[in-house]
Structure formats: structure tokens, C-alpha cells
Amino acid sequence: MRISYKPSLFLALFTLLFTLMFFSVPGYSANIDESWYGINYFPQNHQFYNMFYDWYTLDRQTGKLVYQIVENDLAMLSLCGFDFLHLYIWEEAWFQRGFKSLGSDPRDSDNDQWNALNEFVVLADKYGFKVGVHFANKTVIDKLQSGITKEEAVKLGEDYYDWASIFIKELSRHENIVLWGFIYGFSPAPLAGGEENGWNAFFKSGYSKFDRLISSLRPKNPALLGINLAIKVIPFKFGIRTRYIWNTFELQRQAKVLTDMGLREPDVFMLQLYNHNDVDLKYALKDLTSGPLVREGISLDPKKIFVVEFGASSSLANPPYGNNIFGVGDSFSPSYDLNGHRSWLLRTLRAFNSFGINKMAYWTLYDAPDFWSGPPFNKTKDDPDFAWQSHLGLMPYGKNLKPKPAFWDISRFYKLKKADDARRRIR
């Protein structure tokens, strides 16, 4: 005899809750309270703009296809506590590779880069990564730096939006994209004539359209909108010691320009926080976040700060972890040996943590001496700039080499922070 059974409402709700807790895929809320524990990623031998250009090619060092290398790296990074990938979209004017620029359709870019980009975002989702897309367009930057008129800047903003919106409309179907970065390389210009200034006219024209499009895609794609702020660091000699003073007044003024022009404040302010030492970094972060320093500026909410790049070089280490040459890079960030490299990283992470900054992406996973010694840079091995740039990674260049000690330090930090975040959510 067949017995029919009608489950109770309580049991049905219990079953639904159990399923959501244990069997649902990761969700992406994209709000400013969310933490991003990330890295600027590209695979070894295929740096920057080369990653998508080479996506379907065979890597000479491993004998694997590039996309297979990427999948292996993402699987490893996911196990090591990383959950966010900061992704620059390079336009081809930078290095004759990358996506077609203004006036062209980026979907028609060489080597099927458009399909490669979509596959990358899908792979990221497979391993639980959120993705921040950040547009890097040299054509726009060159035109803005050429001294164009306000009218030309407005038109440039419209053309730039037309180009970038193709990416946004296509990629917004991927729920793991949680950030659209307006443009890499420059920021609004405070105390420069408001929207009569070409840079600000470009921002008002392009950013307003970005904001409307991204807002229209919510709640299906709740990604945030971010802008760069440009940091100026000035060294001052005090006897035998040098202090590095960050122009935080200027940063707070940059942050206020958009609202002064009647635009919505960005969801996220993107900062490159290379630094010489954590003492001066903490002074700067305290100034930025403790209240307006000037009437023309605004205080930055730490939760709205995304450290889009931070890193230090291990070039003072012995090969393959360095080349025993001292170099100095962005914001006077110096080179270290392996112990100095990990010490710098831990002090920097603790500085971010002490101010409640919960969004960050280290620069980068792999050292890249092959990239900087090749065209178009052609830097020589004894060039201090080559030394610094080539050894910023958490892993050395080469096959089957152990990660730098700093890799395990950032992995532990990210895992501990994610555990803390999970405990807070349960409460």
C-alpha cells in the first residue's frame, strides 16, 4: 500500500535553510562593508596585457596552455586565503597588445581576447573569487595630458563611456564582478577651476554616464563604482633621518571634486599605497580618515578605501629571489632582502588593519624580470629601476621554485581576517 506524506511547513523551511547553508554557491553582495583580500594577478611569462592575448597559446616553460596555468594558479590562491582579483583592462595603445580602443569595438580585439576575458571571470567564479575590473586607457590619458579644451574633454568622456560600456554591459552578467574602476592613471583635479578644467570636465562627462549605467544594472549586478586618487609623497630630511610626508590635504580635495560638480560620491576610492615605512603610512592614513583637513576636502571612510596596489621589492636577495641590486620605486618604496620583504609586508598589513581598511590587492603574484628586460622596456640587469620592478612578486621567476616567505605571511593574514569576518557575521 502506498502511503502519501505531506511535509509540514516547519520541515520545509528547515530543509530550505539547511540547503542554503551547506549547498548553495557563494554569493556576492558588493557593499562597502565587504572585505576583499586580493592580488593583482597575471600568470608567469604572460604579464599585464599579455595574459588575454596569449590565453589560447602554449606556454614555453610548462608546456601547458596559458588558461590552464591560470586555472592552476587560481585554485592554489583560493586555498591560500585569497578571494579577490584586481584586473586591469589594458587598451592596445599601451603596448600594441590588449583591447581595441576608442572608436573601435573591443569585442573584435586580436587573438580572441574578448572570449578569453569572459573565460577568466568564469574561472575566477569557479574558485570563489570576486573580481574588480579597472580600465586602463592610454589614449584617454594622452589626450587629457595634451591640454585639450573643456568641450574636447566632454566629448572625450562620452567616447570613453561608449568604449567602456561595452565591457560593462557584457560582463555585468557575471555576478562575481564587484567593482568597476573608472580609469587608471589619474584623478580629479581640485583647485583647478572646477568643471572648466579639462580633467574635471572629462570626469563629469564620463563618470556621470558610468554611474547611471552601473546603477541601472542593480540589483542584478550590485557592483560598486570606484575612482583613483593620486598620491604625492614628499621626502624631508631631519638630520640623518628622512621622513616621507604624504599630501593628504590634496587627497581629501580630490575626493570631494565629484560631489562639488553635482555628481554622486564614488562607492570606493582606489589608492596605490606603496610606502617607505609603516610609521609615515600610519600618519597619512590617520589624516585621511580622521576628519576633513581642509574645507575643500572630505574625510575618507576606511571601508570605502580600496588599496588597489601595494608592494615592495626583494631585489636585494640572492637569485632567483632578487639580483642583489638596490632599487627605489613608487612612493619611495625601497628594496629588501627576503626577511626585509616579509617584515615590510606584515607592518603594512597591520597598518591597514589598524585603520579598518578591509579591501586590498597586493602587487603582484610573480616576479617579472623577463617582462622588464624585453621590449618595449629593454631595461638592463644593473638598472636599479629594473631591480625594483622585477622582484615585486610573492613568487620568484622560474620553474618549481618555493614562494617567498612573504607569500605565506599574507596567506595567513588573509585566512585570519576571513575567519574574523565569518565570526562577526554569525554574531
* Residue 10, pLDDT score: 40
- Within a 13 Å sphere around the CA of 425, how many CA atoms are in the beta-carbon half? 9
> Is the domain defined by 32-426 classed in CATH 3.20.20.80?
yes
pTM of the model: 0.92
Query: Which residues 6+ apart lie within 8 Å of 235 measured at CB?
Result: 242, 243, 244, 245, 332
* Residue 333, pLDDT score: 94
Among 319, 223, 238, which residue's Cα sits nearest to residue 280? 238
The helix (H) or strand (E) run that includes residue 300 is: none
* Residue 20, pLDDT score: 37
* Residue 18, pLDDT score: 38
Query: Which residues 6+ apart lie within 8 Å of 10 measured at CB?
Result: none
The structural domains of the chain, with segments of one domain joined by +, span 32-426
CB atoms within 10 A of CB 424: 10
CB burial of residue 64 (10 Å; 0-12, 13-18, 19+): middle
For 303-339, the DSSP string reads: GGEEEEEE--B-TTSPTTS--S---B-GGGPBB--HH
Please give the C-alpha separations between residue 370 and each of 44, 117, 126, 316, 321, in angstroms, as whole numbers. 9, 24, 30, 18, 14
User: What's the CA gap between 167 and 88, in Å, rounded?
Assistant: 12
User: How does 309-329 read in b/e, with b if 16+ C-beta sit within 10 Å?
Assistant: bbbbbbbbbeebbbbebebeb
CA torsion sign, 5 to 8 to 11 to 15?
A: positive
Would you write out the chain's pLDDT as a tens digit for each of its 427 residues? 333 333 444 434 433 343 333 333 445 656 888 999 999 999 999 998 899 999 999 999 999 999 999 999 999 999 999 999 999 999 999 888 899 999 999 999 999 999 999 999 999 999 999 999 999 999 999 999 998 999 999 999 999 999 999 999 999 999 999 999 999 988 999 987 788 899 999 999 999 999 999 999 988 888 999 999 999 999 998 888 899 999 999 999 999 999 999 999 999 999 999 999 999 999 999 999 999 999 999 999 999 999 999 999 999 999 999 999 999 999 999 999 999 999 999 999 999 999 999 999 999 999 999 889 888 888 988 888 999 999 999 999 999 899 999 999 999 999 999 999 988 888 7
